[in-house]
Chain A
Amino acid sequence: MKKLLACLFLLVIMTVVISGCWSRKEMSELAIVLGAGVDRAPDDQVRLTLQLAKPGAFTAGGEGGGGKETPTWVVSETGKTVLDAQRKLAGRISRHIYWAHDVILVFGEEAARHGVLRYTNYFYRTPQSRETMWIMVAKGEAKDILETHSQLEKSSAQDIGYLARAKTGYSVNFKNFIVMLSTRGANPIASRVDIVERGITQGPEQEKPTIHKGAALTGTAVFRKDKLVGWLDESETRGLLWLRGEVLKGVITTPSLAEPDKEISMDVIRGSTEVQPQYDGESVWFNVKIVVEGDLLEQQSGEEILDREVREALEKEIAREIEEKTRLALEKAQREYGVDIFDFGEAFHRKYPKDWLELKDRWDEVFAGAGVDFTVEAHIRYSGLQSRRTALEE
């Protein structure tokens, strides 16, 4: 009898436990957020734009079928806070808004200029949202970016996410963004996203091919503390990458020494950047050492690259090219915006922790006046499958 009662009791308990937890979310009840945009609305309100994955569109069969319908749906709503806006959206979306697969978070230009700290906290706090999502600033409104569609990927948010992951420009995930936001010796930067002509769509029924406009990464947004102060274009972003020494991939093109109207391109394989701050009690300067290794993959001219002297001259030329790009970004940060976006402050902080206490409150000023010495070394290690240029002798 006792055993029977115990079994019955267990059965009752089971019905509670087996039915699952309170927070269970079935796939078919979710509206998965792929991209989110935050714009500033009048009266300091927040306009939240969400790009949602349409259910079923992402399964294997969806692709071959229609092709005309986009697999995403964009909604937006204004509220006092991000959560408030999301709550209002919930009244119009039949499913539970689910953040865990969010790929990008775009701030509108206006919102960024007024300071992003106002908007970041929700994404910091909520357990659903991820620290790995990419942060970008739209040139214009974030809403427009999310309303674009992609030709290659199923949604523009994923498309932009893949672009960010490829690290062609400077990409920042949410974690690094909040680290930069909260560190005194650094100012945040984020990728700039803009709507540009991305290519031409073709089709058999089309009389004329149409130009496809889509969102793409076009540089870097520069912040002072949490406020947007300006942009770096794509070539200045290259300089930024060299100076921060983070993702050193890309191509460097310089004119040939023998034939100045022809060019040579090196594909960068790896590189390293070392920043050494110097302080003598009055002035601050930085010694930046950049070392690059790469493969010579295109040569319009005909010089003999097997010759050590030619190669060394070429390497020098490449190093000069890198230094020029880097100076471009540095000049802009020091002279135009007056903000340290290269983590030089942190390098200084680590080397001179005592002096840092005095300088940290006016660091951006100090940075703007600091001198920077460059030592750039380039090494050509390989030259593809060709050892010497085969060309018609003239």
Chain B
Amino acid sequence: MKISLGELDWGPFSIWLGVILGALVLFLAVLFILAYRKK
């Protein structure tokens, strides 16, 4: 490792991770609704 973990950009990382997790939650929510909604 050429730099330490503390030198990483954790701020933007967290924001984008939040976006990805948000997309995941949204996607799963849609799947759950579709799966459990009465046809």
Q: Decide whether A and B assemble into one complex.
A: no
